[in-house]
Amino acid sequence: MSKKKIIFNVIFFLVVTGLTIFYLISSNVLSSVKEIGRVKWWGFLTIVLVLFSYVSMDCFIIYRNMKLIKPDSKYGQAYGLYFMGNLGSNVTPWKSAHFPMIGYYLKKKGFNTEENISVMATNQIIYSTTLPVLYTIFFIYSLVTNSTLKIGDYNVPLFIFCLIGIGTNVGYFTALMLMMYNLRFQAFILKIEVKILKKFKKEFDSEEFVLEKQKKMEIYKISANRMWANIKYNIPSYLAYVCFMLLSFGLPYIIYLLITQNGFKIEEYMYSFLLCQASSYVTNIIPSPGGIGTAEFSFITVYSTFMGDAVNLAVILFRCVTFLLLVIIDFIFFTIFLIRGMLERKKQKMKENSNNCFENE
């Protein structure tokens, strides 16, 4: 990433953060901090444990995919990959640094380019094949219960967001499969990409771009074939991702219960899951780093009718844990990772200098 892009991202991040704080203050959301006593100490612990649980589910999937490619991979490396990718997602618009940060981490851990791409490809295939099934279940539920989202004077059917989820994931997976197994379709898409990129980039090597893309699709194909050949091996990963979704999209409801001290109701959980899906789409559409501003606004808009007076405190707790706490952990890990790398390089350099001294003698 160029220095100009880094500076732009930092400025953009600071501006959006400032506007978000202004919005939270002007809308009296931050005044709800004084109500924090409504949540017991074990409530905070529960929220953190739920967060840690669904992060661990995702890391479990990553670890199994890494191990499938490199049998000597360690579980801790999966957490490292998660933290690096999460940091890249939360400090750049449209999560643009997510994959570069993952690639950087895997490279430092001894994964070559092919292995690097293979890990990411396997993850994406698991995600994009699990989500349509899960969203279909909630689509049926939303139709049966006629679930709607009230925004002002309008009632928006929640099955629409399920259809978006099904369509985007099925579309992505279908396009990916065609890119891997149909060379004519691949050539057609690459031709379109080259035309678009030529308009925006002055210095653009179309031949090099096409060759890199073709190589990447070949690695994706090998990864997919490996997955189909080891389908039983991937069953735990699919189940783990279902748990990941149920916990991560269910966290707002858990926070709501801890604030209000109401009892758990499955129909409320299902409805809250649908609301969280709607909120996440709004957040992901706008290129705000870590969803700053958009996540708070969409959460309050979507959940205000369901949560009532508890919505302001709920959004504070939700964002403090899912964004602020995670980003702090990401930065701590990233700092330790860089320091360890510097110390290892220094140690290696000292060792090389020592060997050279012996050879000279």
Residues 160-190 pLDDT 10s? 999 999 999 999 999 999 999 999 999 999 9
- Can you give the pLDDT at residue 1? 54
Yes or no: say if 149 and 278 are a contact pair by the CB < 8 Å rule: yes
pLDDT at 4: 64
Residue 241 has a pLDDT of 97
* CB-CB contact of 269 with 72 (8 Å): no
Query: For 316-325, what is the mean pLDDT?
Result: 92
| Cβ neighbour number for residue 135 with a 10 Å cutoff | 25
> Structure pTM?
0.88
The four Cα atoms 239, 242, 243, 244 give a dihedral, to 10 degrees, of: 120
Q: What is the average pLDDT across 339-348?
A: 85
Q: What is the pLDDT of residue 359?
A: 56
**pLDDT at site 361:** 55
Q: Determine the longest span between alpha carbons in the chain, in angstroms.
A: 86
pLDDT of residue 24 exceeding 90, the answer is: no
**The length of the chain, given as a count of residues:** 361
Does the pLDDT of residue 193 top 60, yes or no? yes
* Statement: residue 201 has pLDDT above 90: no
**Predicted pLDDT of residue 286:** 72
pLDDT tens-digit map of 265-299: 999 999 999 999 999 887 777 767 778 888 888 89
CB 22 within 8 A of CB 292: no
Between 206 and 53, name the one with better pLDDT: 53
Q: What is the mean pLDDT of the chain?
A: 88
Alpha helices in 91-112 (DSSP H): 98-108
Instruction: Report how far residue 103's alpha carbon sits from residue 123's, in angstroms, rounded to the nearest whole number.
Output: 14
